């Protein structure tokens, strides 16, 4: 079945760039997503990329998609302490009765040191 893998932890210094990586298995997924979860809160949709795109930029966020390697990354430029959170990668199920459901990775906890 489909699976989404991401590393569990990332630590960076304030002002540096953060890169969170994700690999997925379903090459038919139409959209791929990044969600952010701050402490005590639900998951907030951060950004997403359509599967026919290689890159999407939104202010400090850059999403890169390598379809050949099934690799998705989220780059946060000029990382701030407010960016400390858990970041989830997600792809969509493309087949069967659960088509349209999202498969989430286990989340990468980003810690930003001052």
Partner 1 sequence: DADVTQTPRNRITKTGKRIMLECSQTKGHDRMYWYRQDPGLGLRLIYYSFDVKDINKGEISDGYSVSRQAQAKFSLSLESAIPNQTALYFCATSETGKGSNQPQHFGDGTRLSIL
Segment near partner 1 (CB under 8 A); pick from 35-43, 54-62, 63-71, 73-81:
35-43
Half-sphere exposure of 45 (CA within 13 A, CB side): 8
> What does the alpha-carbon distance between residue 110 and residue 31 come to, in Å, rounded to a whole number?
23
Q: CB of 84: closest distance to partner 1 in angstroms?
A: 16
The three state secondary structure string of 32-101 is EEEEEECCCCCEEEEEEEECCCCEEEECCEEEEEECCCCEEEEEECCCCHHHCEEEEEEEECCCCCCCCC
> What does the alpha-carbon distance between residue 7 and residue 89 come to, in Å, rounded to a whole number?
11
Q: CB of 13: closest distance to partner 1 in angstroms?
A: 25
Q: CB of 1: closest distance to partner 1 in angstroms?
A: 10
Applying the rule CB under 8 A, the residues between 36 and 75 that interact with partner 1 are 40-45, 48
Tell whether residue 95 is a contact of partner 1 (CB under 8 A): no
Tell whether residue 31 is a contact of partner 1 (CB under 8 A): yes
Number of shown-chain residues binding partner 1 (CB under 8 A): 29
Contact footprint for partner 1 (CB under 8 A)? 8, 29-31, 33, 35, 40-45, 48, 88, 90-94, 97-102, 104-107
């Amino acid at each position: 079945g489909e699976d989404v893998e991401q590393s569990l932890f990332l630590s960076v210094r304030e002002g540096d760039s953060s890169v969170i990586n994700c690999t997925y298995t379903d090459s038919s997924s139409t959209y791929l997503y990044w969600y952010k979860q701050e402490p005590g809160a639900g998951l907030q949709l951060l950004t997403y990329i359509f599967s026919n795109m290689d890159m999407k930029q939104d202010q400090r966020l850059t999403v890169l998609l390598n379809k050949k390697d099934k690799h998705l990354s989220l780059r946060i430029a000029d990382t701030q302490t407010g960016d400390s959170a858990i970041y989830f990668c997600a792809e969509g199920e493309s087949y069967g009765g659960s088509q349209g459901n999202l498969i989430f990775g286990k989340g990468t906890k980003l810690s930003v040191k001052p």
